[in-house]
């Protein structure tokens, strides 16, 4: 049974951390380690957000800062970050009108409304966005194991399908004016981040892949345990979910995390985006509830699900079919625009970039009950959320205006007690006392 929203917010607020002050991850101990979660980076590398297009600065440098921070604080370099996972929407624009697979199945696409020439999109993504994304990931390549999954913006094609037309009578800004957006094709994605890319080919910790690497699995060791991580493409098909289950069965007993682009919304619900709802248009795909019912709830090794896509942050805990806790965490800061405002852009013109915010989840495996300290850190401002006096004033109005400042901060800095972790996965190599 899900925790009620009121109970959840009260619990998170009570656990809010205010003592984080160091900008550097602490050196790893046998019992403590950190997983870095990289929220949607699409607006950093958007080719229109670079100096060459008249933007005040090269926003892609903010993505570079994030990855340099992760690399500098990896265990291999004296820090405590053992694994990093990107939750999708790495870049911004599509490259083609419709992918061959959907066209062959009878889909008919109409282009998304835009004043931009599609040929310009193609050049921008191939010449700026993808190279900038690859350059960022190269900074952590060799420093630690990592995963990256596709978001809806990473697909080759993104269109509104003609059977779900735009409602041009809806008010300006109403999402119904976009129709039902559909995506397809991962040629560019798998070329950059697929199983045969230089990032993952022949890496011993990259243990399995599916659909050219659109779905993938990694192993990392920390805190006396071996962990399995599975990355799933956006709106994964039944074939993707069945593949993931075979990977779990091939690694019995390992505590397992899932990263996928769209899972929780900012209200902590497993609901599809009102416009990008693949399952409405394509029965081959699964929404968040489908992923829960067909994969997560029925595999007791899965104890955590990480996601992005929905601007904001949320947390939810549900019990799987075996009664085990599954902690679900949304992290997406792509609409935060303070950096653009600081550069002198007018409030109505300053685009969301992300302001360098990412998630640092520090696991403490000592004692009878392990815990995870979830913090939000900006590599641009070099500060944790709890140390930023204007944090709620800057971001709450756009993300959670109904919340108090305290509750808003509690969404970004809190502690999860892994109450049943030992019972499910044993004491670990250190016997729970390392």
Distance between CA 320 and CA 150 in Å, rounded?
Answer: 26
Which run of H or E residues covers position 187? Answer: helix 187-193
Kindly report the average pLDDT of the chain as a whole number.
89
* Sign of the CA dihedral running 41, 208, 220, 73: negative
- With beta carbons less than 8 A apart as the criterion, state whether 230 and 245 touch: no
**Confidence (pLDDT) at 87:** 98
Contact 343, 351 (CB under 8 A): no
pLDDT at 171: 75
The sheet with strand 256-260 has its strands ordered as 206-210, 215-222, 225-232, 256-260, 302-307, 325-332, 312-319
Distance separating alpha carbons of residues 305 and 230, to the nearest angstrom: 10
Q: What is the mean pLDDT of residues 27-55?
A: 92
- The residue-averaged pLDDT of 50-57 equals 97
* H or E segment and range at residue 69: helix 60-72
CA angle 267, 269, 272 (to 5 degrees): 110
Q: Could you report the per-residue pLDDT of 59-72, keeping only the tens digit for each?
A: 999 999 999 999 99
The string of DSSP codes covering 335-361 is T--HHHHHTT--TTT-----TTEEEEE
pLDDT band at residue 428 using 50, 70 and 90 as cut-offs? confident
pLDDT at 148: 98
Q: Quick check: 415 and 374 in contact, CB under 8 A?
A: yes
Backbone angles phi, psi at 191, to 5 degrees: -65, -40
Between the two ends of the chain, the Cα-to-Cα distance in Å is: 33
Beta bridge partners of 237: 285
In angstroms, the CA 339 to CA 350 distance is 9
Average pLDDT over residues 393-410: 95
Backbone φ and ψ for 261, nearest 5 degrees, come out as -70, -50
Residue 415 has pLDDT above 60, yes or no: yes
Q: How far is CA 391 from CA 27, 259, 284, 377, 395, in A?
A: 27, 27, 41, 11, 6
Tens digits of residue pLDDT in 366-385: 989 999 999 999 999 999 99
Given the DSSP bridges, would you call strands 81-86 and 32-38 parallel, antiparallel or unpaired? parallel
Q: Spell out the domains of the chain, with CATH numbers in brackets.
A: 5-9+32-424 (3.60.21)
For residues 93 and 45, is the Cβ–Cβ distance under 8 A? no
Span 305-363, pLDDT tens digits = 999 999 999 999 999 999 999 999 999 999 999 999 999 999 999 999 999 999 999 99
Look up the pTM and report it.
0.89
| pLDDT digits 0-9 by tens, 98-146 | 999 989 988 888 766 555 577 888 899 999 999 999 999 999 999 999 9
Q: Are the CB atoms for 141 and 203 separated by under 8 Å?
A: no
**How far apart, in whole angstroms, are the C-alpha atoms of residue 44 and residue 141?**
20
Instruction: State the pLDDT at residue 166.
Output: 67
Confidence of residue 177 (pLDDT cuts 50, 70, 90): low
Cα separation, 132 vs 125, whole angstroms = 9
Residue 12 has pLDDT above 90, yes or no: no
Q: What is the pairing mode between strands 383-384 and 357-364?
A: unpaired
């Amino acid at each position: 049974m899900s925790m009620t929203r009121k109970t959840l917010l009260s619990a998170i607020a009570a656990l809010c951390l205010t003592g984080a002050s160091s900008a550097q991850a602490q050196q790893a101990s046998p019992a403590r380690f950190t997983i870095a979660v990289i929220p949607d980076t699409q607006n950093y590398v958007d080719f229109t957000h670079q100096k060459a297009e008249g933007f005040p600065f090269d926003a892609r440098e903010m993505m570079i800062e994030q990855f340099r921070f992760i690399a500098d604080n990896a265990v291999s370099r004296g820090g405590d970050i053992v694994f990093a996972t990107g939750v999708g929407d790495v870049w911004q624009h599509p490259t083609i009108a419709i992918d061959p697979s959907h066209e062959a199945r009878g889909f008919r696409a109409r282009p998304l409304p835009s004043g931009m020439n599609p040929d310009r999109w193609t050049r921008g993504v191939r010449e700026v966005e993808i190279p900038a994304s690859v350059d960022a990931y190269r900074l952590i390549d060799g420093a630690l194991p990592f995963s990256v999954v596709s978001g809806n913006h990473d697909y080759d094609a993104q269109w509104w399908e003609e059977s779900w037309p735009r409602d041009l009578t809806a008010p300006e800004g109403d999402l119904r004016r976009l129709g039902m957006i559909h995506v397809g094709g991962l040629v560019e994605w798998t070329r950059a981040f697929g199983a045969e890319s230089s990032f993952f080919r022949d890496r011993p910790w990259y243990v399995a892949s599916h659909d050219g690497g659109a779905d993938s699995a990694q192993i990392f060791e920390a805190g006396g345990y071996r962990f399995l991580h599975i990355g799933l493409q956006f709106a994964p098909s039944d074939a993707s979910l069945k593949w993931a289950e075979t990977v779990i069965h091939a690694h019995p007993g390992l505590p397992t995390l899932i990263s996928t682009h769209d899972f929780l919304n900012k209200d902590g619900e497993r609901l599809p985006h009102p416009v990008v709802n693949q399952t409405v248009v394509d029965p081959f795909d699964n929404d968040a509830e489908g992923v829960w019912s067909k994969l997560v709830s029925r595999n007791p090794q899965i104890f955590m699900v990480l996601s992005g896509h929905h601007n904001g942050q949320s947390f939810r805990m549900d019990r799987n079919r075996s009664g085990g806790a599954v902690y679900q965490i949304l992290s997406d800061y792509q609409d935060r625009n303070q950096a653009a405002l600081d550069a002198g852009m007018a409030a109505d013109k300053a685009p969301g970039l992300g302001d360098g915010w990412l998630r640092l989840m520090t696991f403490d495996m000592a004692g009878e009950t392990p815990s995870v300290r979830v913090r939000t850190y900006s590599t641009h401002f070099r500060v944790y959320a709890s140390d930023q006096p204007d944090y709620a004033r800057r971001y709450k109005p756009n993300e959670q205006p109904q919340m108090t400042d305290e509750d808003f901060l509690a969404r970004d800095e809190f502690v999860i007690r892994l109450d049943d972790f030992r019972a499910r996965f044993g004491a670990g190599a250190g016997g729970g006392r390392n």
